[in-house]
A and B are shown apart, each in its own frame.
Chain A
Amino acid sequence: MSKLLNVKNLSLEIKSSNKNILKNINFDIYKSEIVSLIGESGSGKSLTALSIIRLLEKSCRITDGEINYLNKNILLLEEKKMRAIRKNEISMIFQEPMRSLNPVMNIYDQLKESYTVKNTKNIKKEIINNLVSVGISDAERVISLYPHQLSGGMKQRVMIAMAIACKPKLLIADEPTTSLDVTIQKQVLDLLLELKNKMNMSILFITHDLAVASQISDKIIVMRDGEIIEKANTTNFFKNPKNTYSKSLLDSTHYLKKENKKETNHNDNTLDIKNLRVYFEESKSFFSKQKKFIKAVDDVSIKIKTGSTHAIVGESGSGKTTVAKAVMGLAKITSGSIKIQNKDISNLSSRETINHRKNYQMIFQDPFSSLNPRMRIGAIIKEGLCFLNPEINKKEMDFLLEDVLYKVGMTNDALKKYPHEFSGGQRQRIAIARVLVLNPKLLICDEPTSSLDVTVQKQVINLLTEIQRRSNVSYLFISHDIKLVSSISDTISVMKNGKVVESGKTFDIINHTKNEYTKKLLSSVPQIIN
């Protein structure tokens, strides 16, 4: 097997602040093999990719090293020649298909650019074939469409079509599936594999998801802040990772299965949602009288016992978040009832709601936008407290803060700081502290980990379970990641297009579900194979 690409101690620095962001990277890619580049955000995997295809920002400079493509250093090529290589040899897929396609050009024009041949007649035929080959059946229709008219999966397929148009020897795929739903993700991965085999090209596959990597790649390269810390072929890697960091990565993917603690005999429900409906009125056209509705949540009923965790699973747009909002009173309920500790919140007086509110609180998805950047941590945590029980005095307050910070594993000096001084994980802890300080009976967690790196994810989840064990609070846990959910929840309901397609005990559903959709979900979740 011959070497296709060889990266030899490549180093990169940012011009303005001469700090190295890549420190001598070394790896090889052989013909028709898939190499996965794994690492958390900011580990420099994308930069490596970009420097291979030489599309780095002007702001960073290659200080040292060489990249030999078929034994000649492409870094030495002049731009013109490099273009030719991009056109015919190496091509790339980017993470965000919606942003990576030119919004004002239709698919045909965009695809056309990646062909060298001038004569348009054949090109059209080729393009259509190409699209078909990436699994777009009605290619004739699609080529005349604009990107915004396509679904995320379709876009990514088009991107792939674009990349393989020139029959490249090397395809660089930068997190090609991260922004896609699991079901779609699976299809795309399969497609890549198929293509690879068909036109035996090599793929440099960049991802943060070990499971995905394990499924497709022959070789694994783990990066961490600009350095390669482990290189191994896939099977070995997942059997016994040498590096400690790799280990932590690895075991952060599988969670300690929650020991089924004995049934809480008093079966009063912390949360009891009965046929909840939330319809949004579509902005109706100027003349037509009758209103159109988007049925975000349609006839959903959920019960949560005290101290237990209920998870809502569904793909994007399934209406799971809307349920949460409805409970928190952020979305108007069209019909149905929501009881929290047997109080129907929809008919409470404003005074009562204020008293009642401290019992149910919410943790948001993105810790970066859920903390006001202009407020000190202290103020952020206090905010709810001061408002919901004003009678509390200074001393108690300080005690409470200290206590809650301890609970979420932080120290007092945080109080004086501002959010931007913390990492994502810490922020999420703060967000938790903010609600925890009110010691609520019900916590709604809306994808609390999805925007975090895997290792951090684990810590947060652990924290949550820890909290639940101490003060037996019940969770309404919303997530798209059925794998994660299965490990921490007692009961699950699976949502699709605003409806609950299935719900019940987690164990039952994970292991022997009846429902097709659930099956699909489960099957498409990437599992680490070893």
Chain B
Amino acid sequence: MKKIFKNIIIIIFIVINGCSDKPLNNPYSDSNISNQNIFYSSFQERPKHLDPVRSYSSNEYAFIAQIYEPLFQYHYLKKPYELIPLTASEMPEVLYLDKNFKIAKANKNIDYTKYIIKIKKDIIYQNHPAFYKENNIYAYHDLSSKDLENIYTIKDFKLNSTRELTVDDYIYQIKRLADSKNHSPIAGVMQEYILGFKEFKDKLNKKKFSNTKSRISFVKSNDIYGIKKIDNYTFSIILKRKYPQFLYWLAMPFFSPMPWEADLFYSQNKLKKKNITLNWFPVGTGPFKLTENNPNLKMVLEKNENFRGEVYPSVLDKFKNRKYFHHNSERILPFIDKAIYSLEKEQIPRWNKFLQGYYDNSGIASDNYDQAVSLNNSGDITLTDELMTKGINLKTSIAASTYYIGFNMLDPVIGGKSDKSRLLRQAISIAIDYDEYISIFTNGRGIIAQSPIPPGIAGYQDGKTEFNKTLFNTAENNTISKKSISEAKSLLAKAGYKNGIDQKTGKPLILYFEATGAGADTYAFLNWLRKQFKKIDLQLVTRVTDYNRFQEKMINGTGQIFQWGWNADYPDPENFLFLLYGKNGKVKFGGENASNYESKKFDSLFIKMKNMKNSSERNFIIKKMLRIIQEDCPWIWGFHPKSFSLSHKWLENIENNLMANNTLKYKNINNDIRIEKINKWNKPNYLLIYFFIIIIIIFILSTFIMVRKKDKENAYD
């Protein structure tokens, strides 16, 4: 027994000594948290496509926008958003042409628009095997399986090379957009505008190709006749009509340069088998390059050593007071050497890791909200003391997006042009209290929408001077108040559904809501929604299906009521109002107008408004359009989400600029602070371990005692 005791004591001693205050919970390999300048962040689901021709969602942009460089970008600091050249040497020269391609005399006979675009010289690509030549033939363009033996990722290719960026790469990419094999989501849109795009596309699709190589060479050799290469650094694009928003498109990753070598390189089937494709390993001129892409685990961006010396933007004196303005502006980008994005599906770990300092920035999910943010007495938003003390910075801004509940206008009950249905829609719109929604489900991170158009975009109605007259009344001192439930009820009665009972059939009116997914919140939301309808005695039936089913219903127009949202492609009212444009009807034309709303007046106005530059005249038209839809209530105007983003003290130069995607290059890291804080926040607590040791000791001792007892006992006891 003595021996055992001795051993136990020794063990305890060892364990206690083993416990240090060094953090044990660092989720990265220790080598990484060093004095290297690394940016740590997370992504929720693996990006599906990193090929600029395909990718269209923000989580994909988060990566490729750092790698690929389109012609233009948004100014990082300026608001309202302003386009500035990126690879282009200056903003393009725009010429308006008439039907025979002469400069148009008058505004009315404009048939074509021509953009002449110049790009900067000696911009070169990141180093990549696709460019590597041995005596003037591309070494890696025809790989045998022997070459590929121990190659698992792009890094495993020994020899790299690069070349200068030319306009051919931009032109080639535009052609790729046309190639239906690439499933570009905007091919449909572009063929409306770019001259010869459609023809090229059809020609390409008609032709049968023996293999991708020949397809690529075909794409390379044939031209879209609306697009002319003038010299290596200049080219021109002709649009079929006047379309000012086209510049915005040019700023999107769809129009990034694509070297044909890369396309050819990646088109080899043997590489595909190893998941080495253009979709996973982009090739760009941008400040960063993707060195590790394991979508199951993490994605790593590293500084592109070939990146030309772009500098931090400076804006005039209004930024003088910024403490870090002086030491950053005019400094060469990018500041950080490496960015590590870890896959983080669950929200809980993401938030906790951020609090522990292992992620440099984070959004705020509604459930962490009150932990993060509080309203001070004057009502504006500040951080909670807890986060204040951690020295976390908060940035808020209103996204150029809108969430709405749509009515399917093709539905016999809820839809249609009849007064009956309109009144019903209006009644419901009044009944649904989005103020409450915002406070419950987004913790007030949003503002009530008066119309589809979010703030910061021409035609936005602020809900003070301009507002939705169908749903709101002016109260005193130019604040507005929602119409009362009783009004809603009377509307309902007018519509012939007194107390929610159909006067014809005498049955209660039952409406159907199409919900998607079964997220943790769905249940709560559906309950809330039913409560809203109950207010005016309407029965709401929710049909929950997965996103596929939902899509299908939308396309067949079998749904009745649904919730959806829209993120702006570019900051222009057209990009929102087209969601209600008749010709975009989802059922009829497979467009984005999910509620299949159709109104002659609205459509004609839309066509007028569409091609105008922002102007008071345009605003006037927009106002008229809004009035129409506000009358008809094809949607319940939901809300425009406010996006809050948190970042740690050591992460510098955070501006939230919701249009710009290529923001990583501006960020900077102060590593000393980080290390100090992380060590401070993550002191391990060894209580549990001691506890377990004690349990085990008890375990062992009791056994020994039992053994001895058993040996002692005699037959009587």
Map CB proximity to A onto B62-77 as digits: 1 under 8 Å, 0 otherwise.
Answer: 0000000000000000
Determine the chain B residues whose CB is within 8 A of the CB of A257 once the complex forms.
Answer: none
Decide yes or no whether A62 CB sits under 8 A from chain B: yes
Decide yes or no whether A54 CB sits under 8 A from chain B: yes
CB pair A75–B711 under 8 Å, yes or no, is no
Interface residues of A in 76-102 (CB under 8 A from B): 76-80, 82
Interface residues of B in 692-717 (CB under 8 A from A): 710-716
- Find the B residue at minimum CB distance from A54: B715
Interface residues of A in 469-520 (CB under 8 A from B): none
- Find the A residue at minimum CB distance from B713: A79
Return A68 CB to nearest CB of chain B, in Å.
13
Q: Write the residues of chain B forming the contact surface with A, with a CB cutoff of 8 angstroms.
A: 710-716
Residue pairs across A and B with Cβ atoms less than 8 A apart, 27 shown, are: A51-B715, A54-B715, A56-B715, A62-B715, A62-B716, A74-B715, A75-B714, A75-B715, A75-B716, A76-B714, A76-B715, A76-B716, A77-B714, A77-B715, A78-B711, A78-B712, A78-B713, A78-B714, A79-B710, A79-B711, A79-B712, A79-B713, A79-B714, A80-B711, A80-B712, A82-B714, A82-B715
Return A73 CB to nearest CB of chain B, in Å.
9
- Find the B residue at minimum CB distance from A80: B711
Docked complex Cα distance between A162 and B476 (Å): 107
Docked complex Cα distance between A77 and B713 (Å): 8
Determine the chain A residues whose CB is within 8 A of the CB of B714 once the complex forms.
Answer: 75-79, 82
6 extra interface residue pairs, beta carbon distance < 8 Å, beyond A75-B716, A76-B716, A80-B711 = A56-B715, A77-B715, A79-B711, A79-B712, A79-B714, A80-B712
Return B163 CB to nearest CB of chain A, in Å.
67
Return A3 CB to nearest CB of chain B, in Å.
20
Determine the chain B residues whose CB is within 8 A of the CB of A77 once the complex forms.
Answer: 714-715
Map CB proximity to B onto A51-65 as digits: 1 under 8 Å, 0 otherwise.
Answer: 100101000001000
Return B67 CB to nearest CB of chain A, in Å.
61
Return A400 CB to nearest CB of chain B, in Å.
56
Closest 8 CB pairs of A and B: A75-B715, A80-B711, A79-B711, A78-B712, A76-B714, A62-B715, A54-B715, A78-B714
Determine the chain A residues whose CB is within 8 A of the CB of B716 once the complex forms.
Answer: 62, 75-76
A-B CB pair tally, cutoff 8 Å = 27
Determine the chain A residues whose CB is within 8 A of the CB of B715 once the complex forms.
Answer: 51, 54, 56, 62, 74-77, 82
Docked complex Cα distance between A51 and B713 (Å): 15
Docked complex Cα distance between A530 and B715 (Å): 40
- Find the A residue at minimum CB distance from B717: A61
Determine the chain A residues whose CB is within 8 A of the CB of B712 once the complex forms.
Answer: 78-80
Return A129 CB to nearest CB of chain B, in Å.
33
Return B219 CB to nearest CB of chain A, in Å.
60
Docked complex Cα distance between A51 and B716 (Å): 11
Docked complex Cα distance between A75 and B715 (Å): 5
Docked complex Cα distance between A56 and B713 (Å): 14
Determine the chain B residues whose CB is within 8 A of the CB of A80 once the complex forms.
Answer: 711-712
Return A226 CB to nearest CB of chain B, in Å.
18
Return B704 CB to nearest CB of chain A, in Å.
15
- Find the B residue at minimum CB distance from A79: B711
- Find the B residue at minimum CB distance from A62: B715
Docked complex Cα distance between A77 and B715 (Å): 8
Docked complex Cα distance between A280 and B710 (Å): 53
Interface residues of A in 29-75 (CB under 8 A from B): 51, 54, 56, 62, 74-75
Docked complex Cα distance between A467 and B523 (Å): 79
- Find the A residue at minimum CB distance from B708: A80
- Find the A residue at minimum CB distance from B712: A78
Determine the chain B residues whose CB is within 8 A of the CB of A62 once the complex forms.
Answer: 715-716
Determine the chain B residues whose CB is within 8 A of the CB of A78 once the complex forms.
Answer: 711-714
Docked complex Cα distance between A75 and B712 (Å): 12
Determine the chain A residues whose CB is within 8 A of the CB of B711 once the complex forms.
Answer: 78-80
Docked complex Cα distance between A514 and B273 (Å): 86
- Find the A residue at minimum CB distance from B715: A75
Determine the chain A residues whose CB is within 8 A of the CB of B713 once the complex forms.
Answer: 78-79
Docked complex Cα distance between A62 and B715 (Å): 7
Determine the chain A residues whose CB is within 8 A of the CB of B710 once the complex forms.
Answer: 79
From B710, B711, B715, name the one whose CB has the most chain A CB atoms within 10 angstroms: B715
Return A79 CB to nearest CB of chain B, in Å.
5
Map CB proximity to B onto A258-269 as digits: 1 under 8 Å, 0 otherwise.
Answer: 000000000000
Return A442 CB to nearest CB of chain B, in Å.
56
Docked complex Cα distance between A82 and B716 (Å): 13
Map CB proximity to B onto A343-385 as digits: 1 under 8 Å, 0 otherwise.
Answer: 0000000000000000000000000000000000000000000
Docked complex Cα distance between A79 and B713 (Å): 6
Determine the chain B residues whose CB is within 8 A of the CB of A56 once the complex forms.
Answer: 715
Determine the chain B residues whose CB is within 8 A of the CB of A51 once the complex forms.
Answer: 715
Determine the chain B residues whose CB is within 8 A of the CB of A74 once the complex forms.
Answer: 715
Return A7 CB to nearest CB of chain B, in Å.
13
Interface residues of A in 236-295 (CB under 8 A from B): none
Return A505 CB to nearest CB of chain B, in Å.
57
Determine the chain B residues whose CB is within 8 A of the CB of A75 once the complex forms.
Answer: 714-716
- Find the A residue at minimum CB distance from B710: A79
- Find the A residue at minimum CB distance from B711: A80
Docked complex Cα distance between A54 and B712 (Å): 14
Return B655 CB to nearest CB of chain A, in Å.
74
Return A142 CB to nearest CB of chain B, in Å.
35
Return A522 CB to nearest CB of chain B, in Å.
46
Return A444 CB to nearest CB of chain B, in Å.
50
Docked complex Cα distance between A77 and B711 (Å): 10
Docked complex Cα distance between A56 and B717 (Å): 12
Return B531 CB to nearest CB of chain A, in Å.
57
- Find the B residue at minimum CB distance from A77: B714
- Find the B residue at minimum CB distance from A76: B714
Docked complex Cα distance between A51 and B715 (Å): 9
Map CB proximity to B onto A204-227 as digits: 1 under 8 Å, 0 otherwise.
Answer: 000000000000000000000000
Docked complex Cα distance between A438 and B711 (Å): 63
Return B244 CB to nearest CB of chain A, in Å.
80
Return A416 CB to nearest CB of chain B, in Å.
45
Return A108 CB to nearest CB of chain B, in Å.
29
Return A53 CB to nearest CB of chain B, in Å.
11
Docked complex Cα distance between A481 and B715 (Å): 41
- Find the B residue at minimum CB distance from A67: B715
Return B544 CB to nearest CB of chain A, in Å.
49
Docked complex Cα distance between A56 and B710 (Å): 15
Return B164 CB to nearest CB of chain A, in Å.
71
- Find the B residue at minimum CB distance from A61: B716
Return A141 CB to nearest CB of chain B, in Å.
39
Docked complex Cα distance between A312 and B269 (Å): 81
- Find the B residue at minimum CB distance from A75: B715
Docked complex Cα distance between A62 and B716 (Å): 6
Return B715 CB to nearest CB of chain A, in Å.
4
Docked complex Cα distance between A78 and B716 (Å): 10
Determine the chain B residues whose CB is within 8 A of the CB of A54 once the complex forms.
Answer: 715
Return A315 CB to nearest CB of chain B, in Å.
41
Return B239 CB to nearest CB of chain A, in Å.
76
Return B493 CB to nearest CB of chain A, in Å.
69
Return B705 CB to nearest CB of chain A, in Å.
15
Docked complex Cα distance between A54 and B713 (Å): 12
- Find the A residue at minimum CB distance from B709: A79
Return A275 CB to nearest CB of chain B, in Å.
62
- Find the B residue at minimum CB distance from A83: B711
Docked complex Cα distance between A78 and B715 (Å): 8
Map CB proximity to B onto A126-167 as digits: 1 under 8 Å, 0 otherwise.
Answer: 000000000000000000000000000000000000000000
- Find the B residue at minimum CB distance from A56: B715
Map CB proximity to B onto A444-455 as digits: 1 under 8 Å, 0 otherwise.
Answer: 000000000000
From B710, B711, B714, name the one whose CB has the most chain A CB atoms within 10 angstroms: B714
Docked complex Cα distance between A75 and B717 (Å): 10
Return B646 CB to nearest CB of chain A, in Å.
64
Docked complex Cα distance between A75 and B711 (Å): 13
Docked complex Cα distance between A80 and B715 (Å): 12
Docked complex Cα distance between A80 and B713 (Å): 9
- Find the B residue at minimum CB distance from A78: B712
Return A418 CB to nearest CB of chain B, in Å.
39
Return A412 CB to nearest CB of chain B, in Å.
49
Return A248 CB to nearest CB of chain B, in Å.
34
